[in-house]
């Protein structure tokens, strides 16, 4: 199947789920994870009018979106956030989904005071409390959010998570929804190619879909 066929299939499944949930399907944002994907596939998807793409490496995004028309896209950064790269990231991306350290929050705050355009910012939550994963622990989320808001004058609009790969995601998605609702966080980024349907049922409005949309990545 082509990228457009895959996209249409995914959007139809989202419409069906939202109808069952009495939700507006237009509130669900598909973040097309385009890392290591062929530029022609990205252009094909963009030809449908789709605008939201996700990249996890700064250098790859800079190279790729020099060839592509950046004006046609809203770019989400979904990779590990390093404070030393924050300045370049804010100049490239429209949304940063992975804030999880005070050093990066401080760097964003400094850039904001220097009148840089600051993208929308999501906090990454380590929802499964896994040692090998980055992200703020659920028990620390409220304090981290308050620090970003009050100490660093940052507006946090969303939160992102990845549940453990070897467990059923439902309880983690439900906990993520609870945490976000408690702190009045409206943008919830959870769910990928293998579990986006369940994530939407649990309240996600940003689903990060890569292989189901584009096929396997290029090496």
Average pLDDT over residues 28-44: 92
Tell me if 27 is assigned to some domain: yes
pLDDT at residue number 112? 97
Average pLDDT over residues 65-89: 87
Residue numbers of the domain that contains 171 = 3-213
Tell me if 69 is assigned to some domain: yes
Tell me if 218 is assigned to some domain: no
Helix axes 58-67, 39-46, angle to 10 degrees: 60
How many domains are contained in the chain? 1
pLDDT at residue number 68? 72
- CATH number of the structural domain spanning residue 149: 3.20.20.10
Average pLDDT, the chain: 94
pLDDT at residue 54 is higher than 80: yes
* pLDDT confidence band for 218 (50 / 70 / 90): low
pLDDT at residue 156 is higher than 90: yes
Tell me if 219 is assigned to some domain: no
pLDDT at residue number 65? 82
* pLDDT tens for each residue of 94-138: 999 999 999 999 999 999 999 999 999 999 999 999 999 999 999
Average pLDDT over residues 178-188: 97
C-alpha dihedral over 47, 50, 51, 53, to 10 degrees? -100
pLDDT at residue number 66? 75
Tell me if 56 is assigned to some domain: yes
Distance between CA atoms of 142 and 156, rounded to whole angstroms?
A: 12
Say how many Å lie between the first and final Cα of the chain, rounded.
Answer: 20
Residues 81, 91, 7: CA angle, nearest 5 degrees: 75
**3-state SS string over the chain?**
CCHHHHHHHHHHHHHHHHHHHCCCHHHCEEEEECCCCCHHHHHHHHCCCCCEEEECCHHHHHHHHHHCCHHHCEEEECCCCCHHHHHHHHHHCCEEEEECCHHHHHHHHHHHHCCCCCCEEEEEECCCCCCCCCCECHHHHHHHHHHHHHHCCCCEEEEEECCCCCCCCHHHHHHHHHHHHHCCCCEEECCCCCCHHHHHHCCCCEEEECHHHHCCCCC
Tell me if 7 is assigned to some domain: yes
pLDDT at residue 11 is higher than 80: yes
Question: pTM of the predicted model, to two decimals?
Answer: 0.94
Tell me if 57 is assigned to some domain: yes
């Amino acid at each position: 199947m082509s990228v457009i066929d895959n996209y249409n299939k995914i959007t139809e499944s989202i419409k069906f789920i939202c109808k069952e949930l009495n939700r507006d399907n237009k509130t669900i944002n598909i973040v097309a994870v385009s890392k290591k994907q062929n530029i022609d596939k990205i252009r094909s998807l963009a030809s449908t009018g789709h605008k939201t793409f996700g990249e996890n490496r700064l250098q790859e995004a800079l190279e790729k979106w020099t060839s592509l028309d950046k004006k046609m896209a809203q770019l989400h950064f979904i990779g590990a956030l390093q404070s030393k790269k924050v300045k370049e990231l804010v100049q490239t991306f429209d949304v940063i989904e992975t804030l999880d350290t005070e050093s990066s929050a401080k760097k964003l705050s400094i850039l904001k005071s220097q009148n840089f355009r600051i993208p929308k910012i999501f906090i990454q939550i380590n929802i499964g409390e896994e040692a090998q994963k980055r992200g703020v622990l659920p028990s620390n989320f409220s304090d981290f959010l308050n620090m970003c808001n009050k100490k660093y004058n940052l507006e946090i609009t969303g939160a992102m998570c990845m549940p453990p790969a070897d467990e059923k995601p439902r309880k983690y998605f439900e906990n993520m929804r609870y945490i976000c609702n408690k702190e009045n966080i409206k943008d919830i980024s959870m769910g990928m190619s293998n579990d986006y349907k369940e994530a939407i049922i649990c309240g996600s409005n940003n689903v990060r879909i890569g292989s189901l949309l584009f096929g396997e990545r290029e090496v």
